[in-house]
Chains A and B, each alone.
Chain A
Amino acid sequence: MNEWEIVIGLEVHVQLNTKSKIFSPTATTYGAPANTQASAVDLALPGVLPVINREAVVKAICFGMAVGGTIEPHSIFARKNYFYPDLPKGYQISQFELPIVSGGSIRFEVGDTHHDIRLVRAHLEEDAGKSVHDAFGRLSGIDLNRAGTPLLEVVTEPDMRSPAEAVAYLRTLHTLVRYLDICDGNLQEGSFRCDANVSIRPHGQTTLGTRTELKNINSFRFVEQALDYEIDRQIAVVENGGAIAQETRLYDADQGNTRPMRSKEEAHDYRYFPDPDLPPLLIGDDLLEEARAALPELPDNRQARFVSEYGLTVAESRQLTRDRDLADFFESAVVAAAGDASGVANWMGGEMAAALNREQCSLEDVPITPAMLGELVVLINNGTISGRMAKTVFDALWQGNGSAQEIVDLRGLTQISDADSLEKIVQAVLKQCPSQAAQYQAGETKVLGFLVGQVMKMTEGKANPQKVNEIFKRHLDG
């Protein structure tokens, strides 16, 4: 295995989250009843014409700026001709020779290694509709709701050398497009779809091996599985004296394998030519300024700022900035927590990350708000509740049982910190446990934990453990 170098390039279809389609004013809401979001233009009725959606152009420019690519002042829409029932015009409008974005790169770390994956281009195109093959007996259904949804196809150079690197690239790109608010990033709904080109070659060889293209990979896990399978397959073919055929292969997630879809000979001749219905796309200063204004702080910059501004560790900062919603949540919660960034980071990296992971949900699905978490941290810091109680309060916040203060009040969770009350309880415990008190005084100081535990038991955990400690020590050390 080690004698082979793996070469991977990726093409990702990023579905742009515009309000309307790329060439028509039809809405793009996901999951609408079939064909209710298909206008005359989307249906390709005779005589209709495309008009480019400005919002899609601005989002493509934002992407180009974020990856440091060239925003081409002049790009061309072309027709990609082929027949398919869910392709109403008999051609897809895409960009071929002159894309809107050229070059740029995506940077990320795997372990301690820094990677810089070069992008070839990013171009605008329209999505096709959907064919439904299993709902109508021997007939197929066509749903054109998705036809004309804007896509940004992001194409890399063959710069990745392992499936893990490919996945890291995808995660970084996924984070970026959501940061930029140009894509909802929903993999289940197909908002972020990946095709992979993969080949192998002996280490040291500079020319590329024959590649296969893997289609239909729609989760990060599947990308790794599909690539692993395909690489093993290619190595086995070559090591058995065979040659790799240039072909498109389909990844089958159920079988965990890839199988041939069409060979190079069967490849379509798409007869690309400039779409005469659309003049060249000219990007002027107005569009550039609009995109620049829409450009948020990018993940790399935000991560560095979290370290310098909030004193977080690099690891914490990376964790919190991997998602724009998470980072926004953090910054709002810090304000609500009167500036205790480390307290908020601890909760977000600990209990909250665990809960989100356990329930496989995202921030927008849970009732807890930055204000609630911030208040929780404040209540801990001002001694109202103990760390142990705080976990109970957090669970209640997670369940949507109100604000931290409400939960504390409702359940009577306020910590007992006043010296007189605690003094009485400590004295009672000392009376009940004279032998443990003697043990302590004989030097077995670790027995203090047992004594404090007795107090907590009697107070149902509400006693301020630090204060209880102090009182015991005053009595016993004296």
Chain B
Amino acid sequence: MPHRQSLSTLGQMLRRREIGSEELVHHFADRINKQQDLNAFITVDTDYALQQARAADQLLAGGNPPPLAGLPIAHKDIFCTQGMLTTCGSKMLGNFLSPYDATVVRRLKDAGAVTLGKTNMDEFAMGSSNETSHFGPVHNPWNRDRVPGGSSGGSAAAVAARLVSAATGTDTGGSIRQPASFCGLTGLKPTYGRVSRYGMVAYASSLDQGGPITQTAEDAALLLQTMAGFDARDSTSLDAPVPDYAASLKQNIEGLRIGLVSEFFDPSLDPEINAHVREALGELEKLGAKLIDVSLPNSAAGIPCYYVIAPAEASSNLSRFDGVRYGHRSESYADLQALYENTRAEGFGAEVKRRILVGTYALSAGYYEAYYLKAQQIRRRIADDFSQALTECDVLVGPTTPTTAFLLGEKTTDPVSMYLDDIFTITVNLAGLPALSLPVGFDPSGLPIGMQVIGNYLDEGTLLAIGHHFQEVTDWHLHAPGEVA
């Protein structure tokens, strides 16, 4: 069955004409249709996908098809797509049709990928469980009572359930890696600036980064190859050459120095998670890597630091949703002030409002120095910790998350406990580094466990090599939830 194949394998099958893109679209559309209860998608447009698939089949029939020709993928609904709704998981953009494609979307389209639909997500990417979505929570395919993680929960659930072979996500504090970990997938958050943010609805501009959620490191390399690269429309995108990631996969990891971050292996760490991550490290040792102990002393400040900076930026980024030009507009208002108040009161959900309020407060006169400026200073120290540690080793590792997927509703009444789920991922965004989450086992209740590998700036290649070599000697990435078989 094609859905049991990785994206890379499907690509080879398409090139060998063993299968057609149109057939793939029918197959995956059928699976999406049968598993609507997962609520992984906000928009599915089969007709549009079939149209793209037929065009791709023609390219495949001719010579020299583009690298992703005919491969169906899904986009997190944070990426603007021309001709398909872009809701960002919010009532505010429930009716929003973008007149332009995000750079990521355009690049993948130009490379021949077929857009099957748009995946569910936490509203404006604010959440770690996909429960803040205006379109309802997403269920974890491994256990439908549990969350898939967030904010890219729809993308992760869709790939885990093999409703699509791969999907895009975005990661501001762990939103690619945490759901990848909860769903037993490979998730890559590239270096800040590696992938253009143009057309990605902004949550926290200095932290947001798009990346792939896939079954394998090889698939992640395949998508990153197209997604990465300088974009003149994004002033924060990095004008650096994009390496050949397929070649990076084969990079030798013998002698590679892997730093075990002591703060990530705190005695309070869940013993099952600890055991599986250490087991995975043992595999890497067998492959020739050297393990050393390192420290990131300011890690504990990561969550408070993030929850000042991200909401501060969000409070400003979300000001454009005012009901004046597009998106939701309240039907009841007597004057301008009421138009703003009612539109935003109706259009935003509770978590988004909470972060706008927190951010507005943090930037207000009299508080700016104590909160925003202080947080920027801490951010600098956190980044310095990483730079220091990365002089002692080539990559850093630890668990991706402190727990496996929790129950739906378990943390919704306690935002801080929800925030703490990002404790291992969040500092990476503050430093702007790339990081990869890999499946490394299951807890006793059969829920996936993820290991995070953090690399140096623009060194996605080494992360992908580690992931690929690991996946050549393990089969955690091949496990799929029951329905998939």
Contact = CB atoms under 8 A, between A and B. Distances in A.
A45 B326 contact: yes
Contact of B235 (A51, A89, A142): A51
A278 B235 contact: yes
Given A46-B80, A47-B201, A273 B368 contact: yes
Interface in A42-76: 43-52
Contacts of B326: 43, 45
Contacts of B368: 271, 273
Q: Chain A's interface: helix, strand, loop or mixed, by majority?
A: loop
A50 B100 CA distance: 16
A44 B202 CA distance: 11
A90 B315 CA distance: 10
Interface residues of A, number: 28
Contacts of A355: none
A88 B325 CA distance: 8
B324 A85 contact: yes
B58 interface: no
A85 B316 contact: no
Contacts of B99: 40, 45
B200 interface: yes
Contact of A51 (B202, B206, B232, B363): B232
Given A40-B99, A45-B99, A46-B320, A271 B88 contact: no
B234 interface: yes
A143 B235 CA distance: 27
Given A89-B320, A90-B319, A277 B102 contact: no
B236 to A, nearest CB: 6
A46 B235 contact: no
Interface in B80-103: 80, 86, 88, 93, 96, 98-100, 102
B336 interface: yes
Given A49-B233, A276-B313, A279-B236, A83 B319 contact: yes
Nearest to B326: A45
B199 A271 contact: no
A467 to B, nearest CB: 73
Interface string B191-213: 00000011111101110000000
A279 B322 CA distance: 27
B365 interface: yes
A40 B96 CA distance: 14
A269 B233 contact: no
Given A40-B99, A44-B320, A46-B320, A52 B235 contact: yes
Contacts of B386: none
A440 interface: no
B9 interface: no
Interface in B101-141: 102
Contact of B360 (A40, A85, A271, A278): A271
A269 B316 contact: no
Contact of B324 (A79, A91, A142): A142
Contacts of B364: 269, 271
A47 B340 CA distance: 21
A46 B102 CA distance: 10
Contacts of B322: 83, 85, 90
Contacts of A43: 325-326
Interface string A382-425: 00000000000000000000000000000000000000000000
A276 B205 contact: yes
B312 interface: yes
A279 B235 contact: yes
Given A47-B201, A51-B235, A279-B236, A273 B312 contact: yes
B88 A273 contact: no
Given A83-B340, A88-B325, A273-B363, A49 B96 contact: no
A90 B320 contact: yes
B80 A47 contact: yes
Interface in B303-355: 312-313, 315-316, 318-320, 322, 324-326, 336, 340
Interface in B247-298: none
Contacts of A319: none
B372 interface: yes
A313 interface: no
A191 interface: no
Contact of A81 (B197, B316, B336, B340): B316
Interface string B170-206: 0000000000000000000000000001111110111
Contacts of B325: 43-44, 88, 142
Contacts of A142: 324-325
Contacts of A47: 79-80, 86, 98, 102, 197-202
Given A273-B312, A278-B235, A46 B201 contact: yes
A46 B100 contact: no
Contacts of A48: 198-199
Contacts of B198: 47-49
Interface string B377-401: 0000000000000000000000000
B447 to A, nearest CB: 34
A49 B319 contact: no
Contacts of A90: 316, 318-320, 322
B201 A79 contact: no
Contact of B316 (A45, A51, A52, A271): A271
Nearest to B205: A276
A88 B323 CA distance: 11
Nearest to A142: B324
Contacts of B233: 49, 51
A271 B313 CA distance: 11
Which of B197, B322, B372 has the most CB atoms of chain A within a 10 A radius of its CB?
Answer: B322
Contact of B372 (A40, A273, A278, A279): A273
Contacts of B319: 81, 83, 89-91
Given A47-B202, A90-B322, A276-B205, A81 B80 contact: no
28 contacts: A44-B325, A45-B100, A46-B88, A47-B79, A47-B102, A47-B200, A47-B201, A48-B198, A49-B198, A51-B233, A81-B315, A81-B316, A83-B340, A89-B319, A90-B316, A90-B320, A269-B364, A271-B316, A271-B364, A271-B365, A271-B368, A272-B363, A273-B316, A273-B372, A276-B205, A276-B313, A277-B202, A277-B235
The 4 closest A-B pairs by CB, nearest first: A90-B319, A276-B206, A271-B363, A276-B205
Interface of B: 79-80, 86, 88, 93, 96, 98-100, 102, 197-202, 204-206, 232-236, 312-313, 315-316, 318-320, 322, 324-326, 336, 340, 360, 363-365, 368, 372
Given A47-B199, A83-B319, A83-B340, 19 more contacts: A45-B99, A45-B100, A46-B80, A46-B98, A48-B198, A49-B198, A49-B233, A52-B235, A79-B316, A89-B319, A90-B319, A91-B316, A271-B363, A271-B364, A271-B368, A273-B312, A273-B316, A276-B206, A278-B235
Interface of A: 40, 43-52, 79, 81, 83, 85, 88-91, 142, 269, 271-273, 276-279
